[in-house]
Amino acid sequence: MAQVISRCPLTGHYMFMGIDVDAEQFASFSETFARKFCPFCCCEHTWHKKDAKLVDRRPTMHYRKLQQVL
C-alpha cells in the first residue's frame, strides 16, 4: 500500500491526501478524485490525479542497519 500525495496548484507543496491505495486502485481513480482544504495556501482545491503521486509507506532502513544486515 502507498499513500497518495497531491501538489498544491498555487504553492507547489505536496500534502498527504489521507488515502492509502495500491497502484492498481490509484489507476482506477477518476481524473478529479478529491476536494480538500490545503494548509499551504489556505484554499480548498479540487485535486486531480495528474497532480498526485504515490508514496511508499514502508519505512526505509537506516544505512548503518543495512550494513549490519549485509
Quick: pLDDT tens for 11-53: 999 888 888 888 888 888 888 878 889 999 999 988 888 888 8
Between 47 and 64, residue with greater pLDDT:
47
pLDDT over 60 (residue 69): no
Give the per-residue pLDDT at 40: 92
Phi, psi of 61 (to 5 degrees): -80, 135
Give the per-residue pLDDT at 49: 86
pTM above 0.85, yes or no: no
Give the Cα separation of 47 and 49 in Å (integer).
7
CA distances from 31 to 1, 4, 20, 52 (A): 20, 14, 17, 10
Residue 11, helix vs strand vs coil:
coil
